[in-house]
């Protein structure tokens, strides 16, 4: 659902991650349960059978709409890791985009409970000099942190060519010349 990020010159996309779904299970299970109750009730009660479609619209449709909007919102949230920056995109109707340069990231952190470690989920946070930036709850957070750290440390150091000549430019002495105050003539009476 989210478009591919616009990359800079020399930038390559490493990975795109969709965070873990949140808030989808309850309305989905509620829709399934109410649908089953409406179908079963309409099979046994004649009045419910006559109003079957109205019951579906009134009782099941709201749960289905909530489920679909949450799925749409969840699928529109993306985290893109490139070799120069981390991009996050979110939003359904109004898009929010944020960007963190990898050179600004000082550390990566994973916050997990015991249960989250078992199911391999966790919250990833990027530490910067401006403060922590949470990326959200993702699958395999340790792997995402390793990828970000690998790209962070893989920045090539530009070596100087062997034929580089360093020259010393001597500053002009006119700017730094100090002229003493002219001496006052001494009084011969002294």
pLDDT digit string (tens) for 126-139?
999 889 999 888 88
Count of domains forming the chain: 1
- Check residue 124 and give its pLDDT: 92
CA distance 186 to 190: 8
Look over the chain and give the mean of its residue pLDDT values, rounded to a whole number: 82
Its pTM stands at: 0.64
- Check residue 125 and give its pLDDT: 93
- Residue 171 within a domain: no
146 CB neighbour count, 10 Å cutoff: 12
- Check residue 177 and give its pLDDT: 60
- Check residue 175 and give its pLDDT: 64
- Residue 70 within a domain: yes
- Check residue 176 and give its pLDDT: 61
What is the CATH number for 50? Answer: 2.30.29.30
Q: Residue 109 forms beta bridges with which residues?
A: 125
* Percent of residues, the chain, with pLDDT higher than 70: 85
- Check residue 159 and give its pLDDT: 74
- Check residue 157 and give its pLDDT: 62
> Residue 149: which H helix or E strand, with range?
helix 141-153
Give the model's confidence band at 156: pLDDT under 50 very low, under 70 low, under 90 confident, else very high.
Answer: low
Please spell the DSSP secondary structure of 75-130, one letter per residue: HT-EEEEESSEEEEEE-SSS-EEEEEEGGGEEEEEEE--HHHHHTTEEEEEEEETT
- Residue 133 within a domain: yes
- Residue 36 domain boundaries: 13-153
pLDDT digit string (tens) for 35-89?
898 888 888 888 777 888 888 888 888 888 888 888 877 777 888 999 888 988 8
């Amino acid at each position: 659902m989210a478009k591919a990020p616009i990359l800079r010159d020399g930038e390559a996309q490493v990975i795109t991650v969709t965070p873990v779904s949140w808030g989808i299970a309850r309305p989905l299970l509620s829709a399934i349960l109410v649908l089953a109750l409406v179908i079963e009730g309409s099979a046994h009660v004649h009045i419910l059978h006559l109003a079957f479609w109205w019951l579906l619209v009134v009782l099941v449709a709201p749960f289905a709409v909530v489920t679909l909007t949450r799925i749409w919102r969840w699928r529109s949230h993306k985290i893109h890791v490139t070799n120069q920056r981390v991009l996050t995109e979110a939003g359904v109707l109004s898009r929010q985009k944020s960007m963190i340069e990898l050179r600004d990231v000082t550390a990566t952190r994973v916050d997990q409970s015991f249960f989250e470690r078992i199911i391999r989920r966790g919250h990833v946070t990027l530490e910067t000099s401006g403060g922590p930036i949470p990326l959200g709850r993702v699958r395999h957070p340790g792997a995402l942190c390793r990828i970000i750290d690998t790209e962070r440390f893989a920045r090539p150091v530009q070596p100087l060519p062997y034929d580089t000549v360093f020259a010393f430019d001597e500053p002009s002495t006119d700017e730094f010349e100090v002229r003493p105050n002219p001496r006052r003539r001494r009084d011969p009476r002294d």
